[in-house]
Amino acid sequence: MVPTASRSSSERDVIERGANRSSDTSGAGVRELRPLVEWLTALGAQEQEWVVSCYLKLEPRDRSRGKYLIKLKNRVKERLDWLERRGVSRDTREAVGRDLARVRGYLEHPTNLPPGRGIAIFASEALNLFETIPLPRVFRSRLSVDRSPLVRELAALDDEFGLVLCALYDRTTARFFQVTASDVEELTGMPAGDATRGGKFRRGRSVPGRGTGLAGAGEHNYHQRIQEEKQRHYAQIAQRLFELARGDAVRGIVLAGTGAEADAVRSHLHPYVEKRLMSAVRLNPKSATPQEVMEAVLEARREQERQWEVQAIETMAEGLGTGWAVNGAEPTLTALARGQVRTLLVDPMAELGGYRCHDSGRLTTVQDHCEGEGVPEPMPDIIDEAIEDALRQGSHVEVLEDQSARNQVDALAALLRFKHR
């Protein structure tokens, strides 16, 4: 570890906080991302040391038979070979190798994996840094060795996920949750007003000469009263959601309940709220845990994202003929260098080597394309670099999970902000 005696007090404070931070992976949603982004950014700005940044997808298919570890091992070897090709000193390569080994060793233990669908790990022996961050999702599995931690995906995830409200209810109660990319917070609940208890009605005895007509009327009134109470309760839930959803902070709303009741509040929603409705899911409002709420919201977002993918591919197909879209790695990288990219479309299965022109910073798949723009620096995976450049420019990144959508994209594609003249 690099001694800290010569560092300023502020620099020592950053490093000491990095050494003492807890890495709670007990559940997705226990850390605030924004302070972490700011802290890691400050750390990278102060110390131009080599930092390992690992973003790992932990979807069920990635966990199956340890597939995520196989991909990670291959990337570890590629990154060490890349450092050697760049002429990085042996001592530095060995230090980075120890960082990579720490990351791999941590992920080899299943108990260290969060229950969510992603994790980010930042490691640097020189900075006394080893930070693990459970995430609800990641764009794609990435392993980077750079002079500063790659935090733009954390920031983008925090911004794009935004705030989602989840209402869990039955006819007697309602629970409300506020869900962000890194946290699940239960808000004040709401019991039903004057709910009629299910066992209150008793069928009356028959009256000689009159049958059971009075008892039948009583049963009808009883069930009618229950229906009216339920509808009033659902209307109150809708009103509460309207109050919580005021302003632009809320990106989506998820309704949850048992059976057909899961969707019962929809008809009571104000149009302003209904347009933010993502889905209605089945979840027991009395026993649901914050982790189950997070999973329900993630699944709702997943379905919504599949719809966005279809729309993006349709827009791309239309834009290719009008100059408002490009398809393929090289034309997309060219558009990215011009600042044209509004939405970057990524095939998560694609891996492609390439170069970054030293003087211009432009990415390309062809070494000769850097002529006049500085020495072509080899990049182990140009797809990862393109994602980072797009996030740096404030572009939206859409990683295509749907197979039919992926088949339409040649590694990279983009919807454009403007045409190139």
Tell me which long-range contacts 400-404 makes (C-beta under 8 A, separation of at least 24): 400/309, 400/313, 400/345, 400/346, 400/347, 400/348, 401/302, 401/305, 401/306, 401/309, 401/348, 402/306, 402/309, 402/310
CB 285 within 8 A of CB 173: yes
Tens of pLDDT, residue by residue over 73-91, are: 888 988 888 888 888 889 9
- pLDDT per position as a tens digit, 308-319: 888 999 999 999
CA–CA dist 23, 315 (Å, integer): 41
Query: Is the model's pLDDT at 24 over the cut of 70?
Result: no
The pLDDT of residue 14: 38
Q: How many residues does the chain have?
A: 421
Q: Which residue has the higher pLDDT, 67 or 404?
A: 404
Among the ranges given (34-38, 239-243, 293-297), the one the predictor scored with the smallest mean pLDDT: 34-38
Whether 164 shows a pLDDT value over 60: the answer reads: yes
Beta strand 163-169 pairing with 184-186: unpaired
**pLDDT in the model for residue 254:** 92
- The pLDDT of residue 99: 94
Gap between the Cα atoms of 35 and 33, Å rounded: 6
- Say yes or no to pLDDT of 222 above 60: no
Q: What is the per-residue pLDDT for 218? A: 62
pLDDT value at residue 223: 59
User: Are the C-beta atoms of residues 368 and 420 closer than 8 Å to each other?
Assistant: no
pLDDT value at 12 more than 60: no
Q: Is 48 helix (H, G, I), strand (E, B) or coil?
A: coil
Angle (CA) 398-399-402 rounded to 5° is 110
Task: List, for residues 30-54, the tens digit of each pLDDT value.
Answer: 346 777 787 887 776 665 788 899 9
Residue 142 to residue 54: CA distance in whole angstroms: 6
| Distance, CA of 371 to CA of 269 (rounded, Å) | 60
Interval 167-172 mean pLDDT: 88
How much is the average pLDDT of 351-357?
89
Is the separation of the CB atoms in 296 and 254 below 8 Å?
Answer: yes
Percent pLDDT > 90 in the chain is 26
Q: Is the pTM of this model over 0.75?
A: no
* Residue 251 to residue 226: CA distance in whole angstroms: 34
59-78 per-residue burial string, b: 16 or more CB within 10 A, e: under 16: eeebeeeeebeebbeebbee
Region 12-32: mean pLDDT is: 40
CA dist., res. 333 & res. 346, Å (int): 12
331 has a pLDDT exceeding 90: yes
Distance between CA atoms of 338 and 336, rounded to whole angstroms? 5
* pLDDT tens string 99-121: 999 999 999 888 888 877 889 99
What percent of the chain lies above the pLDDT cut of 70? Answer: 82
Which pLDDT belongs to residue 127? 85
* CA–CA gap between residue 47 and residue 404 (Å, rounded): 44
When pLDDT is cut at 50, 70 and 90, the band that residue 195 belongs to is very low
Higher pLDDT residue, 31 or 404?
404
Q: What is the pLDDT of residues 369-401, one digit of tens each?
A: 999 999 998 888 899 889 989 988 989 999 888
Spatial CA neighbour of 13 closest among 48, 42, 36, 54:
42
